[in-house]
């Protein structure tokens, strides 16, 4: 039994919150440059007309050629996402599964996406569906040659709404107290960071949206990089176990966590201390 190794899982699913369109442009330049250098197909998805984006990126070396050859594709939001008000997580994941396969079939090494998704998450209902979709995509990206940066406009959404989405990304530029993302090996999810009363509701929502499923009655959570969790967080994991009639196995480096679980008599949680 092992712990997830590196501090940063680094499989390329990042949240990018921005206030300044120039920062988003710089990120686009970076992603295009990175993707073309790695032989990936690059999709830039956003609310703007493709022509506008193409003009702005024209000075990136090799951009025009890549665009003509289909190594870069520019999509308005409606083309990449079903333009319903609320995303359908399952159908949307299928679309990117297909797109990854097509990239590989066309001779690329993988698919790299920069998606400006602010329009998809303006309302609470949209955000709820999109957050569920984000976590499903996260599992796909963890295990397949697809990387994505999900960009959100902080001026439109505000910090609280962005936190709901950012905490479901394994990496990002925002300051989030914890991150819940796809696990590796038998761990269905991994949680890193710190969980206390101040992010209690955020965690409850993230856990409910991620909705990790047990296998053979066990729901393994990689908590090796979870620096802190209090009784509130443990109660949410207990509730998750109860919903599934399963045992949540919490893999940690902290023996203190085993003592706290014993103190609270949480029979539905099993703490496995790994060194």
Partner 1 sequence: MRTGAAAGHVGYLHEAILYDSDDHLLAVVLPFLRDGVEAGEPTMVGLDTRTADLVRRALPAGHGVTFLPGGDLYARPTAAIRAYRELLASHVAAGATQIRIVGELPAVVFGATWDWWARYESAINHAYDDFPLWSMCAYDRRTAPPHVLADVARTHPRVAGPGGSHEPTGVYTEPASYLAECRPAPLDPVQRTAPLVELTDPTPARAREAVRAADGGLLPPDGVDDLVMAVSEVVCNALRHGTPPVRLRLWCAPDRLVVTVHDRGAGPKDPYSGLLPAGDGSDGGLGLWISHQSCDHVTYQRDTDGFTIRLTAGNPHFPV
* Cα dihedral 211, 250, 205, 127 sign: negative
DSSP-derived secondary structure letter, 215: B
For partner 1, the closer of residues 45 and 241 by Cβ is: 241
What's the N-to-C CA distance of the chain in angstroms? Answer: 9
Number of residues forming the site for partner 1 (CB under 8 A):
17
Least Cβ distance, residue 21 to partner 1 (angstroms): 31
Q: Is 59 in the site for partner 1 (CB under 8 A)?
A: no
| DSSP at 192 | E
Contact 5, 225 (CB under 8 A): no
- The closest alpha carbon to 248, from 187, 205, 200, belongs to 187
Is 260 near partner 1 (CB under 8 A)?
yes
* DSSP strand pairing (41-46 vs 269-273): unpaired
Give yes or no for residue 101 binding partner 1 (CB under 8 A): no
Token pair listed for 265: 């008599």
Single residue of 25, 122, 232, 244 touching partner 1 by CB under 8 A? 232
CB of 227 to partner 1, least distance (A): 8
Provide CB contacts within 8 A for 123, sequence distance 6+: 85
* Among 25, 60, 93, 235, contact with partner 1 (rule: CB under 8 A): 235
> Rounded to the nearest whole angstrom, what is the least distance from the CB of residue 176 to partner 1 in the complex?
12
Residues 156-195 contacting partner 1, CB under 8 A: 177, 194
For residue 196, state whether it binds partner 1 (rule: CB under 8 A): yes
**Residue ranges that bind partner 1, judged by CB under 8 A:** 177, 194, 196-198, 228, 230-232, 235, 254-257, 259-260, 263
């Amino acid at each position: 039994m092992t712990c997830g190794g590196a501090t940063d899982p680094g499989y390329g699913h990042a949240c990018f919150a921005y206030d300044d369109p120039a920062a988003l442009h710089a990120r686009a330049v970076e992603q295009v440059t990175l993707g073309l250098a790695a032989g990936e197909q690059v999709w830039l998805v956003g609310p703007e007309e493709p022509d506008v984006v193409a003009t702005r990126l024209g000075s990136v070396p090799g951009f025009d050629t890549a665009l003509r050859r289909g190594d870069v594709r520019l999509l308005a939001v409606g083309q990449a996402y079903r333009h319903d008000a609320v995303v359908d997580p399952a159908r949307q994941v299928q679309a990117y599964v297909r797109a990854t396969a097509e990239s590989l079939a066309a001779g690329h090494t993988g698919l790299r996406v920069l998606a400006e998704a602010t329009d998809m998450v303006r309302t609470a209902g949209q955000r709820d569906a999109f957050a569920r979709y984000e976590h499903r995509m996260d599992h796909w990206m963890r295990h397949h040659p697809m990387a994505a940066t999900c960009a959100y406009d902080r001026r439109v959404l505000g910090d609280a709404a962005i936190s709901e989405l950012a905490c479901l990304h394994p990496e990002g530029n925002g300051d989030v107290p914890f991150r819940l993302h796809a696990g590796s090996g038998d761990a269905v999810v991994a949680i890193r960071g710190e969980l206390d009363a101040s992010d209690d509701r955020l965690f409850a929502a993230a856990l409910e949206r991620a909705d990790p499923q047990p296998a053979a009655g066990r729901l393994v959570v990689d908590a090796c990089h979870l620096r802190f969790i209090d009784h509130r967080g443990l109660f949410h994991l207990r509730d998750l176990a109860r919903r599934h009639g399963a045992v949540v196995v919490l893999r940690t480096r902290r023996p203190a966590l085993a003592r706290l679980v014993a103190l609270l008599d949480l029979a539905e949680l099993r703490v496995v201390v790994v060194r």
